[in-house]
Amino acid sequence: MNIGVLALQGAVAEHIRSIGLAGGQGVAVKKTEQLADIDGLIIPGGESTTIGKLMRKYGFIEAIRDFANGGNPVFGTCAGLIVMAKRLEGAEEPHLSLMDMTVARNAFGRQRESFETNLDVKGIDTPLRAVFIRAPLIKEVSDRVEVLSMYKGEIVTARQDHLLASSYHPELTDDYRLHELFIQMAKEASGVKAD
C-alpha cells in the first residue's frame, strides 16, 4: 500500500518511518497530482491555520475532498484532525469538512503541557503509546462517527467509515499500530474500489 503524507508542514519523515514499520510504503505528497498514485493520505500535525492556508494555496482543499469522497482513506493527526473536522469551536472556518465532528483547538493547553500516555484504542489489543502536544479535542460526534478511544472522558481517536483522526501524534513513538490500522483501512478501501 502506498500511503501519502501531506508534506506542507509537520512530522512528515516520522509518519513515513511509521508507515514503513507498519508494512506500507510512505510517500511525501507535495503536489495534488500525486494523490492519483496513493492508496491513503495522512495529514500530519503542525499548525492547523497554516496548514489550511497552504492547502488552499496549493489547491489541496478540493483535491483532498475529491480523494476522500472517492472512498480513499484519510487520516488526520493533531492539526490534521482539526483540518478534517466539519465544525470548529470558535469563529474559525472549517477546512476540509470531512468528518462529522466538532473540534476544539489546543484543548490540552500549551506546549509545556504536552504529555505521553497509554491509550486503550478499539481494534488494538493492548494500550497504544500516544504523545499529546498542544492537542485538539473532539468535543462531539454524530452517530456516523465511531469513537475509538477516550482520555479522561474526552474523545481523542475517532473513525468515520474510511476516515480516521487522532488528537495525538502516533508517529512520535515506536508504536506504529495506528498506522497499521490505517493501512488495513486502505487495503479494505482498495478492495472495495476493485470490485
Q: Are 182 and 3 in contact (CB under 8 A)?
A: yes
Residue type present at position 158? A
CA 129 vs. chain centroid, Å, equals: 16
Catalytic residues: 78, 169, 171
- Using left for φ > 0, alpha for ψ between -120 and 50, and beta otherwise, residue 106 falls in left
Cβ contacts of residue 103 below 8 Å, gap of 6+? 81, 82, 85, 87, 88, 89, 136, 137, 138, 139
DSSP secondary structure string for all residues of 129-151: EEEESS--EEEEE-TTSEEEEEE
* Sign of torsion over alpha carbons 39, 35, 97, 15: positive
CA–CA separation, 130 and 172 (whole Å): 8
CB 24 within 8 Å of CB 36: no
Radius of gyration of the chain (CA): 15
